[in-house]
Amino acid sequence: MAELSTLARPYAKAAFEYALDHDQLNQWHQQLATAAAVVADERVGAVLTSPALTSAQQAQKLGEVCGDALSAQVKNFVGILSANKRLALLPQIHELFALYKANRERTVDVEVVSAFELADGIRDRLAAALGRKLERQVNVQTSTDSNLLGGVVIKAGDLVIDGSVRGKLDKLAEAMTS
């Protein structure tokens, strides 16, 4: 996986810089998401990796599937990826582009998993506290997991804060066995 990110990084950086220079970050983000989702589909992936198609034909097929969802600039970018045999990297390119965009906008997506549904007030206070801690604007997504028993697990990128009862019990069991 790290190898794919390494290959995707220069393309994502180039796309990000182009979009930033032309004040089109949101448009490029959405269009790359569309292209990445299409490439990730097994049926489309089989067509795009077919040796019977030239690079130009592969880019054309992807453009046809995406239709008007892609601008001429993004279609040109897809053509460059295709010419370099890198169409399969579109999901990683989109992921890195989103990361660059979030860093630029000083935002972070946070997933909060709790044993029970969180009230809006609690979710807002948690978002504010995380925003102060991470020094970013926080976009909170919540979900529930009945296996937690109580507490919450917070995931923000690579950062994981396990404040769940299940997590504390696991730490206690580990401490007792060592």
Q: Is the per-residue pLDDT at 2 higher than 60?
A: no
3-state secondary structure at position 178: coil
Look at domain 2-102 and name its CATH class: mainly alpha
Q: What is the pLDDT of residue 53?
A: 85
Alpha carbon distances (Å) from 106 to 5, 119, 146: 22, 26, 32
Q: Is the per-residue pLDDT at 158 higher than 80?
A: no
The token pair that represents 118 in the structure block: 């969180």
Superfamily of domain 107-177: ATP synthase, E subunit, C-terminal (3.30.2320.30)
Distance CA 115, CA 111 (A): 13
Nearest to 100 by CA among 33, 2, 16: 16
**Confidence at 30, pLDDT banded by 50, 70, 90:** very high
Alpha carbon distances (Å) from 56 to 18, 76, 77, 81: 22, 11, 12, 10
The token pair that represents 28 in the structure block: 């490029």
Q: What is the pLDDT of residue 75?
A: 92
β-sheet bridge partners, residue 155: 111, 160
Which part of the chain has CATH 3.30.2320.30? 107-177
- Give per-residue pLDDT as tens, 98-146: 999 988 888 888 899 988 888 889 888 988 988 888 888 888 889 998 8
β-sheet bridge partners, residue 144: 114
The token pair that represents 35 in the structure block: 């292209």
Which part of the chain has CATH 1.10.520.20? 2-102
What number of CA atoms fall less than 13 Å from residue 114's CA on the CB side?
13
Q: What is the pLDDT of residue 62?
A: 86
Q: What is the pLDDT of residue 71?
A: 92
Average pLDDT over residues 154-160: 82
β-sheet bridge partners, residue 153: 113, 162
What number of CA atoms fall less than 13 Å from residue 12's CA on the CB side?
22
- DSSP assignment of 34-63: HHHHHHHSHHHHHHHT-TTS-HHHHHHHHH
Q: What is the pLDDT of residue 116?
A: 86
**Confidence at 52, pLDDT banded by 50, 70, 90:** confident
Query: Which of the 8 DSSP states describes residue 148?
Result: G
Average pLDDT over residues 34-59: 86
Higher pLDDT, 36 or 149: 36
- Give per-residue pLDDT as tens, 54-73: 888 888 888 888 888 999 99
